[in-house]
Amino acid sequence: MVPHLVTALNGPIKELEQRILESLPAIERWFRLEWMEHTPPFYSSVDVRNAGFKLVPVDTNLFPGGFNNLNPDLLPLSVQAAMAAIEKICPEAKNLLLIPEKHTRNSFYLQHLQTLVRIFTQAGLNVRLGSLDEAVTEPTALALPDGGSLSVEPLVRKRGRLGLKDFDPCTILLNNDLSAGIPSVLEGLHEQYLLPPLHAGWTVRRKSRHFQAYEEVAKKFAKLLGMDPWLINPLTVGVQGLDFTEGQGLEALKDHVDQVLTKTRRKYKEYGIQEKPFAIVKPDAGTYGMGIMTVRDAKEMEELNRRCKNKMAVIKDGQPVHEVIVQEGVVTHERVNEAVAEPVVCMMDRYVVGGFYRVHADRAADENLNAPGASYVPLAFAQSTQLPRPGEAPGASAPNRFYMYGVIARLGMLAASYELEATDPDAEVYA
């Protein structure tokens, strides 16, 4: 299935697309050199927004979901990338323990897990699932929509090693973002490979730090291509010391929103962009599209009503929100069957392995789409991010555009790699 796309390409992005296509070998070489210095996350996904005049990553997920939305024809790419990743980390690996989210009854999430199991089995590993949920005290079969089932087993911790009954893995793959904190059962596992590392979880990770790293990456990349980094970088500031329930710090937040809107307005003027700027306020840690607000005018912040405050106050796993980021809003001009859509690019190791559209019929182009009611459309193979056609005019063909999305997503992934290096508690410090 090939989704019907409506993309309002105009002005700078056409130039950007042209430059990216012309510079393909240089870009791929640049990434190759970056990966000599930095370690890519084991797997990731990046939400991309294409405003027509600007193209940015808005979220980099290090515990990606949604692999069930990948086009099945694309799976060999994931298998091959998984083979390359395992070979580098632990070539003698035999067993892989996959630790999913606690609440695994959602049938889409189960299909996602099934896809991961399939990929890693085909890459040459015995894969079994262990649950952080203490209610799981014996192997539990979870029914899959296709009639099959997945078995989730209780974790068995023995001194320095984590496994299952009669299953001693060399590698543990987390698909749980640790929003609820780091469970003690995962601490001190020095004999096994724990991927991603604990500090990639939302207990430690901060979006503000990610976008700081992204700014650095965007500047480097923009220099390579000789362009304004703003075209691929959303202005982002972190705000601390908030208490939405008590109304604490909201004045400072309002000021930051105002600054972001003012700077964006200036940039819009510079490029002759006729749209109205807006800002997004979202928790500095956490995911699941919770606690996200679109602000078109700083004054709106004064009128935050009770419902809005409650929505912002607490997110996934009941975590209170004291830190947020204020980010320049980037509209998405992608449409699938007339509904607002944003591309999600999936990566394994340094490789783009596929993508899909997040589509929301009830949301506007300047709103968060990761919300109840969202649906997902796999990208057809013809739109693989791997194969641009340098001969064709920019914007003329889907493959061209998806190559560009794959480049932007990899910039987000590279930023995550910088970020994880900076926050690694075990990093050696060279004075």
Chain positions contacting its own copies, by CB under 8 A:
24-29, 31-33, 35-36, 73-77, 79-81, 83-84, 86-87, 91-94, 121-126, 148, 350-351, 381-382, 384, 386-388, 390-391
Cβ proximity to its own copies: between 318 and 391 the closer is: 391
Cβ proximity to its own copies: between 185 and 224 the closer is: 224
Q: How many CB atoms within 10 Å of residue 373?
A: 10
Cβ proximity to its own copies: between 42 and 244 the closer is: 42
Q: Give least dist CB 76 to its own copies, A.
A: 4
Q: Give least dist CB 356 to its own copies, A.
A: 16
DSSP-derived secondary structure for 56-97: EEEEEESS---GGGS-GGGHHHHHHHHHHHHHHH-TT--EEE
Identify the three-state secondary structure at position 294.
strand
Rounded to 5 degrees, what angle do the CA atoms 284, 286, 288 make? 130
The maximal CA–CA distance of the chain, rounded, in angstroms, is 65
Identify the three-state secondary structure at position 40.
coil
Cα distances (angstroms) measured from residue 332 to each of 5, 9, 49, 272: 12, 11, 5, 18
Cβ proximity to its own copies: between 375 and 397 the closer is: 397
Dihedral angle over CA of 58, 356, 62, 53, nearest 10: -20
Put residue 116 in one of left, alpha, beta given phi > 0 → left and psi -120 to 50 → alpha.
alpha
Q: Give least dist CB 381 to its own copies, A.
A: 5
Which tokens go with 42? 């084991």
Identify the three-state secondary structure at position 23.
coil
User: Is the distance from CB of 427 to CB of 421 less than 8 angstroms?
Assistant: yes
Q: Give least dist CB 130 to its own copies, A.
A: 18
Cβ proximity to its own copies: between 144 and 185 the closer is: 144
Cβ proximity to its own copies: between 26 and 364 the closer is: 26
- Tokens 């690694």 belong to 424
Cβ proximity to its own copies: between 6 and 382 the closer is: 382
Cβ proximity to its own copies: between 120 and 202 the closer is: 120
Q: Give least dist CB 27 to its own copies, A.
A: 7
User: Is the distance from CB of 340 to CB of 364 less than 8 angstroms?
Assistant: yes
Which tokens go with 11? 């002005």
